[in-house]
Structures are given as C-alpha cells and as structure tokens.
Structure 1
Amino acid sequence: MPTTVCPKCNRYSTVPNVQNAEPYRCPYCTTPEASLLYKCFSCMKVSIFVAARLPRACPYCMTIVRTLPRDVIPTPVIVTPFVETDWLYHVTSMTIARSIKRIGLQSALSRTGVARPDPNGSFALDRVNRVAKSIKGRLKEYLGVCLGNVDSNVWRDAVVPYTAFPFVCTGSNDDYVPLKRLEDVALTAFGNAVMGAKFQLKPKNKFVIAKKETTRVLCDLLATNADHYLTKLATQYANFDFDIEGAITACHVYFLNTRLDPLIFQGGFTDYTKLRSPSSIVVLRVRRADVHGAEDDLADFRAVRTRVDVPPARLEILTGTAIYTDFKRFDFRSRAENWTPLLQWR
C-alpha cells in the first residue's frame, strides 16, 4: 500500500492503492473538508487532493491530472452564517428530553388529553411562589377598594362568612372575564355586608390607597389570617387565575423568543431555569420555519408558543458539560458542532 502526505495536516499516512480516484478522509485531520485519493497514470503514485481545490498536475511528476469521475467529487459544502432569529429554543429537563426524543415536543393536552400543565414543567414548579404573590396583590387591590369607601379598621375587624364560588377553566384567555365578574360579585357582597348598599366597587383613588404603606401593613396582617373574608377571596381568585394560565399553558408548546434584545432573551432563560438544578437543564432548538402556528405569547412577551406538535426529527439538542452557562454564550450556542440531532442523542 502506498504512503502519501495529506495537504491539510502535512502528515504521512498509508492509503489504499486505488485504480483512479475515490473519496478519502485523512485519519489525522479534524476538519470536515472532503478529500480524494488520486493515482497518477504516469508515475503510478497516489496523492491526496482537497476535493474543493483539485490541482492541475500530479505533485510527483507534474503530469496533467486526468478528468475525475463526477460522482467521486463530493458536492461542496455551503456554510451559511448563523442567524439566531431563524431558531427557537425550548428549555426542559433531562428526563423530559428523553420523552421528547420518543414522541416529539407536544403540549400536555396532546399527551394526556387533559388541559393541565406537566407537574415537572417550569410552570407547575413555580406555582407556590406565584400564587402566594398573587394573593397579596389581590388583597392590596381589595383594601384599596374598601378603604376608598371608608378609611377605617372596620374592614380588618369584619367577620363575614365566605361562600366559595364554582369556576371551570376552558383553556381560553376568555376565562379571565367570567372569573373577574365572580370576584366583583363576591367583593361587593362583602362591602354590602359591612357598610350596606352605599359600598362602591370603584371608589376614587383606590389605586393610590392600595400603594400606601399603611395599606401594605394591613395587607400583610390579613395575609396571615386565613379565616378573613378578603383573604379567602384572594386565595380562591389567585388559584383560579393560576388554573386558567395553567390550562392555557397545557394547550401549547413554548419557546424562547429569539427576536428580543439579547439581555431580555437571557433574562427569560434565567427565569425559566431558576427552579431547576443546573446539571439537569437541557436546551433543544428547532428552526422557526419548522414550527407551525407559532405566535407571540400574550402573557409573557419573552416566549413564543404553538398548539402544533414538533416531531423529534426536527429538533436538535445542545451538548456540553455546563449547559446552563454555555447556552448564555452566543459563541457557543451559535456553533453547529455544539448541537446534535435529538434522534442521535444518547
């Protein structure tokens, strides 16, 4: 077998004694550039040629290179610049990523037939913190209304029995309208029970009053009193409000919106991963053109969502040892070699 030198790495290697020409890959080169083995018909020596830059003559005897078979010369690889807005990213966990590899990226509704978010997803994991914050927000608004009617401790000391109202989520943004209507009815019933028919649901300066320090102190006090009417109303509303958002979430698949300012984009990634262990974070990507029905998320402008499933063959997974930090680096996530087709991931 002949020995020849590779023009890319300048290392000698033993090569097959070909008849004319055939594709070849140097065992020492790490570049993906295609090569050819060529046997000169004059000196009978074998050379390695870079397929994209074929020489005119044999490097040993300078005999003109004969016409090479067309099917031996590989199609040149066209490298296009990376455009981040052409892609969408999906953040998940290692366990869920293995499921996605089997069935594709699907909404919870598609997978289970029930409009309820995945209990292991980012949305469900954040429920405790978000509901607690929402309860205080509702309490402040209620106190702004009540104190706007009468600035008195009567609201704090009122003992009014609370009757929970029924509500069913449909998974639509329209659910917020009837929920607000039921909340207004319940708050009006409390106001009427305390001060009679003079109670107004929209008093002047209710927003200014809600922001006062005295209102905040009273809000913190009521938040610790689970038996107070306003606390029960705020708790029920906050949970139903979260259920509506959860049902909408369960009907969609979500991605990071790459058309945003990079700082906002990275802030979204940080928020979506804050409840996960850095070692368990997985990032998938798909071409925006392969996501059908994509739309901006009205509830979170940092996200793009769709009701349409994304098959695993369209997805790629970011590989590395520190995905949480590597993904934030544009120079890392923009390199094609750092992504692997999901179906080839082990």
Structure 2
Amino acid sequence: MKECELCCEMVPAGAFCQLINCRHVYCRICIRKYMELSILGNRVEIPCPGGCPAVIHPNDVTRYLLPNTDLISKYESFSIRMALCRIQDVRWCPAPDCGFAVIVPNGQKCPRIKCQRPGCGREFCFKCRKVWHEGTRTCSKTFEQLKKITENDVSAHPCPRCKTLIVKENDGSCNHMHCTLCGAEFCWLCLKEINDLHYMSPTGCTFWGKKQWSNKKRLLWQIGSLIGSPVVIAATAVISVPLITGMIPFSVGKRVYKRLKNQSKAKRVISTAAAVTTSAIVSPAIAGVAVAIGVPFALGYTYIMVPKALVHDVVDYVQKKKRREVPIADTFHVDGYHGATMSLAPPPEPEPEHRNADGSAPGPSSVTSSDYSEDFSSSSGDDFN
C-alpha cells in the first residue's frame, strides 16, 4: 500500500501510474479524473497536478483515459487545432460547421482564399478572416466592428491573435486571459496581448475592474505620476530601510526557533540568538542594496513608460476625433451582421493579383482534424511505451 499525493489515501502499489515527462506518480483514479476535468474545461496543455512546470504528455492522456474514446477524440481535436492556430499562415473557414483549416503561405499578397473542403468552397479573406468582401477598407474595420458587437455581450470577446470568441464568467475573476487554442495572453479590457507588467503600466486597464479608466482619469493619473513620483519613491525608500533592517532578523529568528522545536531549550535559544545577531549585521547592507536598485528602477520606469503612454493617448484621441468628423458612411455586411465604415473617397482599385484558374489563392493546402487523427493515434501509442 502507498499513499497518493492527490487524494492522500492508501492505494495498492499496482494502482499507480507514472507520468512520462516529469516521472511523478499518482493513482490512476485521481489522474484520470484530473485529465477529464481539464479536457472538459478546454485545456489542451494539461499541467502536472503536483504543481511542477511539466505538461502531461499526450501519450499519458490517451493511455489513462481509455475507454473514454469520446473524451480522447475531443482532446485530439483540441490539440490539432491548437497546433494549427500557432502557424501564422493558417486560416479557418468561417462557414458554419466546416472545420477546415487552409494554409496559405502568400496570404498577405493574395488574401482571397477558397475553402477546399468538398461541398464547401466558401471564399473568405486571409486578413480579417471573414467572408470575402470587395474593396480594401473593410479589413481594418472588421475587428473593431466585432469588438463593438461583443461589447453588448460583455461575456464574450475575440482573442486578439486567433480571433476565437472567448467567454468569461461575470464572477469577479481577473482580466488576465489565456487563449487555450493559440496560447495568447491578453487583457480582457483592451483586447491586446500583454506581459506581466501590463496592469502596472499607465494603460488604464485594471486587474480586477470591469472597464478601463476614462481618458480624463488616465490623463490625471499620468500627470500626477510624473509630478509626484520623486516624492513617493523617496518616502518609500526612507521607510523601507528601517523596515527591512528590522524584518529580516525577526523572520530569521522566528524560522530558526520553529525549526529547532525538537531540540533542547538551551540549544534553541543559543541558535536563535546567533541567527538574529548575524541577520541584524547583514540586514542594513541588504536594505541598502534593495534601495540602490529599486529607486533607479522605479524612476526609470515612471519617466519612460508614463510619457510613452501619455503620447499614445494624445495620438489616439486626435485620431478618434478625426474619425468622428468624417461625413460619409458606407454600409457593408460582414458575416451575418451589419456595420458602417467611414470613408472620404471611393476605395482604390485593388492591385492585380496572380490567381489559379478557379479564382483561389495559389499554393494553399487544407487540413482538418480528421486528417491527423490516424497519425495522432499511431504516435500516441508508440513513442514512449
């Protein structure tokens, strides 16, 4: 009998399984249930339940989910779609229930694509990924129009990379989103791909809020940051030096005293006193190094990022004001909804483009999840047996 790290129950040794990537061992019941919940939650890259950074190998998924073939098929379909979404030249046919992926190496030069699935033949645009449209002014407006439409339903927004609609529960969760198909990390409020410093920068996006700051609030915050940052940073440095100097000996002494709880009282007291004395001598140097590094970093970040965001907001405001002054509106129809694009002049004539005899873009190839099912199944059982 052996204890499982997940359920903390004693399980026979033969009921355990070892993961391929990280070699961690769990009972089959726990790992199967964990995989089922992960796949039902649309997770393709399933992390190890033990908290390590390794991802569960597809062979483990197919091996331990048997005989649940429906869930295995769903996992394979998601895996293939995620792999295809990471290819920049892949576009998915927008026709309902089609599921074909078209690979077009020269899509930017020849954006008109024709789905090669028998019985479909839908033509769509490589750039905006919608049903093919005439003219060149629609693509730049399609994503903005889709964003405006989804603003009426705040629970669904398109991924900025693969344009897949993502649903977010209105349960107070954070605005840092992860697309399970293409792996993009983006902000729910501004719909832009972000890094870990996005919510610390003056973008107007908040980690927990439901909407961005207004332009006025963001402008006041940026100006206030430029004026008040030296005072705030200096005060923080003055407070942090004695705080760090006192907290380090206290935390070290507490940890040493707790670790030696099974030792004699005299040894405990002597060891704790020695640790506190040593840390008290070292802590001023640590505090000085922290301040010496932190103050220039904070000042540099403030006076680089804040002016950059301020200029961006001013330019964005001017562009929006110009767009509102455009008097002519041309209506169009994009994939089932109506919108309007503003234009001052008729769209320019499109440049001649090299096309195949049937009018499709040269060189595309189409794939769907069924094309890879046989290869996926054969490789999943032979690689790590």
* Pair in the same fold by TM > 0.5: no
Higher relative contact order (CA 8 A, sep 6+): 1
TM-score (normalizing by structure 2): 0.18
TM-score (normalizing by structure 1): 0.19
Which of these two proteins has the greater Rg computed from alpha carbons? Answer: 1
